[in-house]
Structure 1
């Protein structure tokens, strides 16, 4: 039977896929986009360093590489900032004057920008001829026209020149300028309106990207798109809900500052100011206040499916490398990860997951058990051979009621008394009155049937003017996993490995040190000092390793084969030993 018959099974994957990219500034996001949009001949020249002796890790890579060489799909890049520029050219350009001057761009810079715009009148006319570039645009001809304009040489030349002008005067303010435009578009649907908030506008940029993809698909046999880069978690949700073939990749690096210094010619002052500025977009504290239009890179990282590590692998981490050599090697490792996961997107089940992926997937799944209403974290502890010994998640102690399942309505009306402590429900401790007074006027009807939970730690710390983790009702995920071992008989965790969806806080890091855990794999860094304090004091230090791999839904989408690999090979080669040899009398 010819291979073409089996290929039909994978037709959807080979014809269409979308990869979203996210990560902090300098983590390597644009580098990944560049590699994805390259021909395989370019990829072929940047191969990962070979690990000797031949082990399963390299066998997996060799299989992925061989498959990629035959089936490589070149991705077309949608630059997020170009989508913003598309909206800018549809806006009243006179508002841009004020916006640039507010960021202290000199008048001469503003004049250069306006001269550039005046020189692109034909392009702007074509863009404005399209009736809408958001959700109301459904006409196929206009969708196709939008895509053709966006990917045209004329528009991209304009974009490059626009960047070049602003970069020449103030690179950091250029970043702030696009940052402000994006926030305004998500807030109000207008590049320069930062006052009127409309919840419908949150998807303004995402809808435009969606239309560009649809227009591209009309005129192309195959559609493989990568978005560089998404930094708003609501937009990630938008694409996940629309495309089954959407994969969100987060790129992380432990050497961001070194890479930025190398890129910006050792300008320490600029790099430090840049990292201070992007700290706000990473934390995304405004999101917790209901301002969903801002950038929140931390949430984007948490919502990713696949994690790339722009660092040397653990085996070579001890080597002291010059920055240039470090960057060269990091390119090798990025390419290796790109080859592996793009091959799996095209052909799920081509290889098996790594031991690290398997264990982190268990931690990732475990976090869903958490009844914490602030943040869910999962953890798994293995021995040195990656055999699972315990799992845990951040939650209240056994037989207590998780915060998610407690109701302020019950507290106020004195129902379900077992869910609340005497400290919360009895007047004599002086705290019940404050709780009841605060929550008694909650408009439950506004919740639309949702349970009205509350975080005791946040409330108590606010009332008492404190900021202390000790008042949380929950155990941390790592702590819970460690206690489960003690609770259920106990085994030694010396030289064990901890997998956690967030790097351990100071308290859990101390416990890991006491248990003599030797490696800690994590996805998202905890915003504390445990990394450079608790885990770096003394001797026999545990290795803190940034996780690289697939978790969550992507783990199943990439590693669950469409059909039995044995049957697939038999269909392609027309070789079935079980029947062939019996019929031949062998």
Structure 2
């Protein structure tokens, strides 16, 4: 019964009306540096084997090293290996202008695997009872491309581990690769890698695990080592249509946080948050948007709606533009700009704030300023909504659809 439920996901190429028995499954893994993806990948392979599936792990770093220019990336020391792989991956993406190029190269690897098994058969023909694990995806574009190409049989799993534990694990791996027992000596290297991996500043197609992580279908806490096996088995049961696996509290919390984000009309992005008690009761919700006079947040049918979209402008964007124009004006008057950049300070500023300038300076910290916006953080909205109603948040858990902002 389990297999029959999942069989409907893939079409038979020779007879489109007949489902394939044991269709291919595609699983992408997302995990910040220092997360134990070895453990997760191993349990996935073992569990799928119990369902009579053969697993192929497609390691993206190996694909990078297959390219001649990057074939000499060393296996040790660990900090040099990771740093050079990050730089290589970003260089490849920036060169071709596609953030999903490594995902496309991974798809080519699947075609090779199919061809090896089918011989002269067409390499796009799906194999029966085969699973492919992409290890690991580093930005949302890769995820989007894989979802568009494979559709429902593609699933994204994000591996979670607390930041301090990730840095600790990475520090130990780096120290071991240097044959050293001094963790203090290599902690800075681990911290730098962790920051770059989460979001590579100034690169349009750089590392962006922070963007890929929250869009997963499933989340696994790999810091609970003894429980990873159970978490993976539960996920695979869900994939195969087991009817009695209902949402856990964390999953329900994230779902409710996402649904809360739909209430936001913020002009930049929509963020949702929900606060739940230990036993899973909803205590409060919130989203990033302009707060309502008198408390709470606006609903569409409220009178005197003062949200930004009603005013037609974002105060934060206006102030950021003013800051940039002020800096340009000061530098221009001091002769810091060549006349070829513009005949006036306003002209130079317009170029910087236009599409061409943003493609160059888009990663600059000034473009990340959010201090001048009228909207409150989703987390703040959820907390103040609870306080306004006299709801205690002691021993509660807050779920949010994105990582905390720098001024959160």
TM over 0.5: yes
CA apart distance, 1:235: 1.2
- State which of 242, 247, 264 in structure 1 corresponds to 2:149: 242
Partner of 2:189: 273
| Pair 1:8 & 2:1 matched | no
Taking the aligned partners of 1:405 and 1:294, their CA distance within structure 2 comes to 35
Partner of 2:396: 497
CA apart distance, 1:167: 3.2
Partner of 1:167: helix, strand, or coil? coil
Structure 1 length-normalised TM: 0.49
Taking the aligned partners of 2:86 and 2:369, their CA distance within structure 1 comes to 31
- State which of 223, 246, 264 in structure 2 corresponds to 1:352: 246
Partner of 2:170: 260
Partner of 2:193: helix, strand, or coil? helix
CA apart distance, 1:83: 1.4
Contact 2:53/2:130 (<8 A) preserved: no
Partner of 1:391: 285
Taking the aligned partners of 2:49 and 2:57, their CA distance within structure 1 comes to 21
Taking the aligned partners of 1:70 and 1:216, their CA distance within structure 2 comes to 21
Deviation per CA, 1:355-376, whole angstroms, max 9, x where unpaired? Answer: 2322321112212322334443
Partner of 1:481: 382
Q: What does 1:445-460 correspond to in 2, within 5 Å?
A: none
Partner of 1:363: 257
Partner of 1:18: helix, strand, or coil? strand
Q: Do the aligned partners of residues 385 and 22 (structure 1) sit closer, same or farther apart at CA in structure 2, a change above 3 Å counting?
A: closer
- State which of 209, 227, 233 in structure 2 corresponds to 1:333: 227
Taking the aligned partners of 1:337 and 1:468, their CA distance within structure 2 comes to 37
Structure 2 length-normalised TM: 0.69
Deviation per CA, 1:144-182, whole angstroms, max 9, x where unpaired? Answer: xxxxxxxxxxxxxxxxxx67xx234x4322222222221
Q: Do the aligned partners of residues 72 and 472 (structure 1) sit closer, same or farther apart at CA in structure 2, a change above 3 Å counting?
A: farther
- State which of 379, 382, 406 in structure 1 corresponds to 2:276: 382
Deviation per CA, 1:299-344, whole angstroms, max 9, x where unpaired? Answer: 12133222211223xxxxxxxxxxxxxxxxx1x2222211111221
Contact 2:93/2:101 (<8 A) preserved: yes
Partner of 1:58: none
Partner of 1:283: 199
Contact 1:371/1:405 (<8 A) preserved: no
Partner of 2:14: none
Gaps of 5+ in 2: 10-21, 119-126, 293-303, 320-325, 330-345, 357-364
Gaps of 5+ in 1: 41-67, 97-112, 114-161, 190-198, 313-329, 409-418, 425-430, 448-460, 503-522, 531-586
Q: Do the aligned partners of residues 171 and 496 (structure 1) sit closer, same or farther apart at CA in structure 2, a change above 3 Å counting?
A: closer
Partner of 2:232: helix, strand, or coil? helix
Taking the aligned partners of 2:211 and 2:233, their CA distance within structure 1 comes to 26
When the two chains are superposed, the root-mean-square deviation of aligned CA atoms in Å is 4.0
Taking the aligned partners of 2:99 and 2:273, their CA distance within structure 1 comes to 33
Contact 1:251/1:308 (<8 A) preserved: yes
Taking the aligned partners of 2:85 and 2:305, their CA distance within structure 1 comes to 48
Q: Which has the larger radius of gyration?
A: 1
Taking the aligned partners of 1:16 and 1:364, their CA distance within structure 2 comes to 29
Q: What does 1:184-203 correspond to in 2, within 5 Å?
A: 184-189=91-96, 199=97, 201-203=98-100
Q: What does 1:391-430 correspond to in 2, within 5 Å?
A: 391-398=285-292, 399-403=304-308, 407=312
| Pair 1:78 & 2:72 matched | no
Structure with the larger helix share: 1
Contact 1:363/1:379 (<8 A) preserved: yes
Partner of 1:472: 373
Taking the aligned partners of 2:355 and 2:78, their CA distance within structure 1 comes to 45
Contact 1:301/1:524 (<8 A) preserved: no
